[in-house]
Structure 1
Amino acid sequence: MSAAALRARYMGDTVATASPQQLLVMLYDRLALDLERAQTALGGGDHAEASRQLLHAQDIVTELHTSLKVELWDGGPRLAALYTWLGTELVNANIKRDVNRVASCRQVVEPLRDAWRQAAASLTVSTA
């Protein structure tokens, strides 16, 4: 089995066995990585790579938005509005090749990722 096939199998197993909170952190980790890569690609003039990364980031934001159950907590509607804003910013960043919009998205996503990671870790500790 090739290294790529082994990696794909490992990732598939990791996702299949992850808890909901771990899946959320994985999505945020990948979203932050996509934004970092897009920002680097735009800065280097690689518009095709930036577009690939931004499209993947848009897919993640769409998944986060559609899986959000806004009625379950008071912050739900605000988070839904934030996902709407992120999606719009990512589309505009891609169309306009705007590295500043990507940077703005990173400034929002990275603290959220860190907060979700911390929440998931505390939930794991409290249930252990």
Structure 2
Amino acid sequence: MSTTLMQARQRAQYTRDAVLSASPARLLTMLYDRLLLDLRRAEAAQVEQRWPAAAVDLVHAQDIITELSASLRTDVWDGAESLRGIYTYVHTALITANVRRDVERTREAIALLAPLHESWHAAADAVPAPATPSPALGGWSVG
């Protein structure tokens, strides 16, 4: 097995482990991190007229938006419907950005989502860390 292939498998395993062990707040911030990464990559590809690369990133961003929208709990949070409206608008903008090769629509999506990205990170940072096993404190410690 080549070193490159082994490293790729190790990275994939690390990512799987990170996702499986993440708290719900951390999962949300991870999704937003990847969403903004995809959009910035798509923007760069559009500027450079690398349309197939832009399409891959825009479609992946659409998938993340779909997941974020589907995970909203309108029965728990009054703001969920408003946020769903933003997600719906951004999803449509990303389709348009892809089909029309419109970098301005990609930039609009970034402008709408960047403040949400920052807000979700701030909210996640405010949530206390869960208790974790620690031999020093009889098996448990509070992070």
TM-score (norm 1): 0.96
* 8 Å CA contact 1:31, 1:57 repeated in 2: yes
What is the match of residue 106 of structure 1? 110
Amino acid corresponding to residue 81 of structure 1 in structure 2: G
Aligned CA-pair RMSD: 1.5
What is the match of residue 34 of structure 2? 30
What is the match of residue 120 of structure 1? 124
Identity %: 42
* 8 Å CA contact 1:42, 1:50 repeated in 2: yes
CA deviation profile, 1:82-111 (whole Å, cap 9, x unmatched): 111111111111000000000000001111
What is the match of residue 65 of structure 1? 69
* 8 Å CA contact 1:43, 1:99 repeated in 2: yes
Higher helix fraction (1 or 2): 1
What is the match of residue 133 of structure 2? none
* 8 Å CA contact 1:42, 1:97 repeated in 2: yes
CA distance in 2, matches of 1:90, 1:68: 20
Matched, 1:56 2:60: yes
CA distance in 2, matches of 1:70, 1:54: 27
Amino acid corresponding to residue 118 of structure 2 in structure 1: D
SS at match of 2:78: coil
Higher strand fraction (1 or 2): 2
SS at match of 1:85: helix
Amino acid corresponding to residue 52 of structure 2 in structure 1: A
CA deviation profile, 1:67-87 (whole Å, cap 9, x unmatched): 111221121110011111111
2:7 corresponds, among 3, 8, 13, to 3
Amino acid corresponding to residue 4 of structure 1 in structure 2: A
Where relative contact order (Cα < 8 A, 6+ residues apart) is larger, the structure is: 1
Aligned residues: 128
